[in-house]
Amino acid sequence: MKHSRKLVALAAVAALSLTVAGCGSSDSGDNGKKAASGFTAPDVPMAKKLGTLEGAVSILAWPGYAEDGSNDPKTDWVTPFEKDTGCQATVKYFGTSDEAVNLIKTGDYDVVSASGDATLRLIAGGDVAPVNTDLLTNYADIRSFLKDQPYNSVDGQMYGMPQGWGANLLTYNPDVVKPAPTSWSSVFDASSPYAGKITPYDSPIYIADAALYLMNTKPDLGIKNPYALDKDQLAAAVDLLKTQRGQVSEYWSDYLKQQQAFESGDSVIGTSWQFIVNLIEADKKPIKGFLPDEGSTGWSDTWMISSKSKHPNCAYAWLDYIGGPEGNAASAYYFGEAPASAKACDVIATTDKDTTFCDVFHAGDEAYAKKIWYWTTPVSACLDGRTKVKCTTYADWTQAWTAIKG
């Protein structure tokens, strides 16, 4: 236990360096490298060269990241991959990072799109293998501020192919929610006019959303980083969420359930993703999603390869494809996030005929990217740098989450 706490502390310091250093190029990783040098990831072998493709690959993905036509026959970038490489893909969706960690441990999957609150846990657990970026032809085009980050690399060793990043959106039904909301207060209001129809995300990581709200509305609580909460700050966030619980229609982790709830009117406001908003719009139902000015939590996702992968060569092929201009453009455009590949924006502008997409999502704007509070695993060594107090861990958050739902 002590040993892992040390790991965790060092990993935390590494994450700290990201927010403090404020500089994104991989070379500024001087800070990052040094801080990360104490983190000893388990010894998982890395592929030295590519061999023959195995003919199959098992993909564990956030819904919307690997569409194979089963949701909508016109949305399919998996089949072109299969045709090119001969790797037949089976795609499994998961609803939360916890589920992803759990599923990868079974060893049944080859690749996973992991958010920042899953990546370090996977690395520390030996569940993912270091990625040889020399074997990925499209890695060079990945935006520099996404490479060698504390959440996707250790000791200068990359563990995956960045996919993209985005924010959790405040989503609402414009026919019911009037006037249009402008702030997260609409879902945290103790006596909301939409009581009984609010839908928050069903994961302990949502506590960070409450903490972010408190950060803006109750500065005397002293919250500087929504993932660095000491016992009192956590208690305040829990109280806020318990109040919200009384007005919740459903907590969602299955995107389809949320889509159905919005369409049937059982939920009218809550946290959602652009991709779900797109789906509801496609069904011609009223919906709007946006990022409030006060900011939001979000995620920066990396495709990782399982250490138990049975099809490592097809796995590399997938990473290269999904990080390449066509794959990245298709998935980022469909999902509604900033693509990691710099070339993707050109593809979106020409193929999808959308020249404003990358601007809207601030695809190349490093400074903007830093404003989003990406999902990170809370650890006891406070991520905001405080040394005098112990911060609550993800295990504490998990227990608190059960208590919140009641």
Partner 1 sequence: MTRPRAPAGRTGLLLLPPMLWLGVAYLGALGALFLAAFWSTNEFTGDLVKVFTLDNFRELLQAPVYRTITLRTLGVAVLVTVVDAALALPVAFFMAKVARPGLQRLLVIAVLMPLWASYLVKAYAWRGMLSHSGPLSWLGISPGYGLAGLVLTLAYLWLPYMILPVYAGLQKLPDSLLEASADLGAPALTTFRRVVLPSVFPALVAGSIFTFSLTMGDYIAVKIVGGPTQMLGNVVADNYGVANNLPFAAAYAVVPVLVMLGYLAAVRRTGALENL
Partner 2 sequence: MTISARLRTVLAACTALVLVIVYLPLVLVVLNSFNVSTSFAWPPSGLTLRWWDAAAHSSGARHALLISVEVGLLATAIALVLGTMAAMALQRTRFFGRNTVSLLIILPIALPGIVTGLALNNAFTSIFGLDLGFFTIVVAHATFCIVTVFNNVQARLRRMSASLEEASADLGARPFMTFRLVTFPLLRSALLAGGLLSFALSFDEIIVTTFTAGGHEQTLPIWIFQNLFRPNQTPVVNVVAAALIVVSAVPIWLAQRLGTSRSAPGAPSGTSARDGAGVLRAMHDRYASSWYNTMSFTEIAEQRSDSGAATSEKWYEEGKLPGRLRIDVGVPATDTVTPHRIIICANDSFYIKVPGRALIERAGRNLLLVLGFDVYKQPVERSVAALTAEGFDLSRVHDDTWHGKPVIVVGAAAGDTTSKQFWVDTQRMLFVRLLDTSHTLLGESTEARFDDYRKLGGGWIAADVHVSGNGIVHLREIYSDMKANVELPDSWFEPGTLGR
> Which residues are at the interface with partner 2 (CB under 8 A)?
58, 70-72, 92, 103, 106, 108-109, 254, 256-257, 259-260, 263-264, 279, 283
The partner in contact with residue 109, picked from partner 2, partner 1, none with C-beta cut-offs of 5 to 8 angstroms by kind, is: partner 2
Check binding of 6 to partner 1 (CB under 8 A): no
The partner in contact with residue 108, picked from partner 1, partner 2, none with C-beta cut-offs of 5 to 8 angstroms by kind, is: partner 2
């002293």: which residue's tokens?
222
Which one, 145 or 201, has the nearer CB to partner 1?
201
Q: Where are the alpha helices (DSSP H) in 37-172?
A: 78-85, 97-105, 116-124
Q: What is the CA radius of gyration of the chain?
A: 20
The region that residue 156 occupies, defined by phi over 0 for left and psi between -120 and 50 for alpha, beta otherwise, is left
Angle (deg, nearest 10), helices 231-245 and 207-217: 100
Check binding of 96 to partner 1 (CB under 8 A): yes
Interface residue with partner 1 among 53, 91, 105, 349 (CB under 8 A) is 105
Starting at the earlier edge strand, list the strands of the sheet with 169-172. 198-199, 269-272, 169-172, 288-290
End-to-end CA distance of the chain: 30
Q: Name residues whose C-beta falls within 8 Å of residue 67's C-beta, 6 or more positions apart in sequence.
A: 75, 76, 77, 78, 331, 334
The partner in contact with residue 119, picked from partner 2, partner 1, none with C-beta cut-offs of 5 to 8 angstroms by kind, is: none
Q: How many residues does the chain have?
A: 406
Check binding of 356 to partner 1 (CB under 8 A): no
Query: Least distance (Å) from partner 2 to the CB of residue 119?
Result: 21
CA 19/CA 36 separation, integer angstroms:
14
The partner in contact with residue 242, picked from partner 2, partner 1, none with C-beta cut-offs of 5 to 8 angstroms by kind, is: none
Q: What mask of x and - would describe binding to partner 1 in positions 228 to 267, judged by CB under 8 A? A: -----------------x--xxxx------------xxx-
- The per-residue DSSP string of 6-68 comes to HHHHHHHHHHHHHHHH---SGGGHHHHHHHHTT----------S-----SEEEEEE-TTSS-B
Check binding of 117 to partner 1 (CB under 8 A): no
Segment near partner 1 (CB under 8 A); pick from 91-99, 187-195, 283-291, 300-308: 91-99
Question: What's the number of CA atoms in the CB half-sphere (13 Å) around residue 297?
Answer: 27
Which one, 249 or 272, has the nearer CB to partner 1?
249
Interface residue with partner 1 among 10, 120, 205, 348 (CB under 8 A) is 120
Residues that bind partner 1 (CB under 8 A): 1, 4, 7-8, 96, 98-99, 101-102, 105, 120-121, 124-127, 196, 245, 248-251, 264-266, 377, 379, 393-395, 398-399, 402-403, 405-406
